Amino acid sequence: MLKLELRPQASEFWRYASPVLALLITVALGIGLFVLLGKDPLRGLQMFFWEPVKSAYALGELMVKATPLLVIALGLAVCFRSNVWNIGAEGQFVIGAVAAGGVALLADKETGRWIVVVVVLAGVAGGMFWAGITAWLRDQFHANEILVSLMLVYVADMVLGYLVYGPWKDPAGYNFPQTKTFEAVTQIPRLMSGSRVSVGLILALTGVAAVWVFLFRTRSGFAQQVGGLAPSAARYAGFSSRKALWLALLTSGGAAGLAGALEVAGPIGQLTPYIPSGYGFAAIIVAYVGRLHPIGIVFSAILMSMFYIGGELAQSRMGLPKSITGVFQGLLLFSLLACDTLMAYRLRWQSGRA
């Protein structure tokens, strides 16, 4: 029979092999799912793993979706490594989008191009503020940050709903719950014509480098991680746990807010009730599949982006429900959690009983 045996120390190999194995299992389960639904599994896989990369345009779209996931997951990596559990990046994303949208709405025909910078900064500030509420409640009252941040997601949705159904509704919008389309000057500059990829991608990749440097080459980054791994050691070293809490939440909140600004002033171009797209939740999976490591997160963000695009394609071309994306996300997360067992344990075949 198969037996799990504790390893003397966690396996470095499986740390990186586990996400790959999890992906293979997800694919295998996906094939089974397609067969059960009576669809051609090859075509299904094609939707998810070939269509999103087959042309320059498709690759561009892949990057458009990967950018917000990457940005949010980077922030979450810092947060989770500090042992602070911000589950509400989705809410910080929404408030970031609202703040950025609010600034964008102030622009008119005469406004200069500088407004873009203010739009982005407003998004960051909005996300930080929303995460700051969680940090403050945790700091002052020891409120559980998991619950608080999660609940604030729904509050953020309400705030957005109030604005687009109410004061910010476009008077010329035939009563649709949406703001007017932002002025062109507020648009995040695109990298090239013919593709929706914006400078947001550059910002995200800069973020990868910045987070790597912060985590592995600076004292604050080290302090942050020690606080997560061994709180007593952090206290012994004299690293402040309050500072770590605030830094973790403000970083991840700011990142989520930035992603919100990039979305709303980028591909979307106005505020609608459909801003909450699940990026904030998907980014949690992205962060973990990427091993909370900035480089790993690049790959997992692209993978998750494939799931998003593949899900949309499967919906439009194969008549599968849209929730297939969520199913794939869930399969990947569960496979990963299962495969992570192999980091701490090895499988051994035992014949009979010893």
Partner 1 sequence: MQSNEPLRLSLSNITKRYPGVVANRSVSLSVKSGEAHAVLGENGAGKSTLMKIIYGAVKPDEGAVQYNGQSVQIRNPQQARALGISMVFQHFSLFDTLSVAENVWLGLDRTLSLAQVTERISAKATEYGLDIDPSRPVHTLSVGEMQRVEIIRALLTEPQLLILDEPTSVLTPQAVDKLFVVLKKLVSQGCSLLYISHKLHEIRELCSACTVLRGGEVTGVCDPREESNASLSRMMIGAEPPALKHQDRTPGALLFEARHLSLPKEDQFGVNLVDINLQVCAGEVVGIAGVSGNGQRELLYALSGEDTRAAADSVHLDGEAVGRVGPHQRRQAGLHFVPEERLGRGAVPSLSLSHNMLLTRSEAMSPSGWIDMQVLQAQAQKIIQQFNVKANGPQAPAQSLSGGNLQKFIVGREIDAQPKVLLVSQPTWGVDVGAAAQIRSELLALRDAGCALLVVSEELDELFEISDRLYVMANGKLSPSIQRKDATVAQIGEWMSGLWEPHAET
Residues lying near partner 1 in the complex (CB under 8 A) are found at: 7-10, 216-220, 222, 225-226, 229-230, 232-233, 235-240, 354
- Closest to partner 1 by CB, 181 vs 220, is 220
Secondary element (H or E) of residue 134? helix 115-141
Give least dist CB 22 to partner 1, A.
21
- Closest to partner 1 by CB, 53 vs 229, is 229
Cα–Cα nearest to 74, from 300, 267, 232: 300
Q: In the structure encoding, which two tokens stand for residue 94, read together? A: 């929404």
Distance between CA atoms of residues 126 and 101, nearest Å: 11
190 strand-pairing partners: 198
Give least dist CB 226 to partner 1, A.
6
**CB under 8 Å to 133, separation ≥6 — which residues?**
148, 152
Secondary element (H or E) of residue 345? strand 345-349
Give least dist CB 51 to partner 1, A.
40
- Closest to partner 1 by CB, 117 vs 354, is 354
Give least dist CB 216 to partner 1, A.
8
- Closest to partner 1 by CB, 164 vs 223, is 223
Residue 182 contacts residue 104 (beta carbons within 8 Å): yes
- Closest to partner 1 by CB, 178 vs 224, is 224
Give least dist CB 11 to partner 1, A.
12
- Closest to partner 1 by CB, 12 vs 110, is 12
Give least dist CB 232 to partner 1, A.
4
91 strand-pairing partners: none
**CB under 8 Å to 18, separation ≥6 — which residues?**
336, 339, 340, 342, 343
Q: In the structure encoding, which two tokens stand for residue 75, read together? A: 């922030």
- Closest to partner 1 by CB, 35 vs 210, is 210
Give least dist CB 16 to partner 1, A.
16
HSE of 116, CA atoms in CB hemisphere, 13 A: 18
Distance between CA atoms of residues 313 and 47, nearest Å: 6
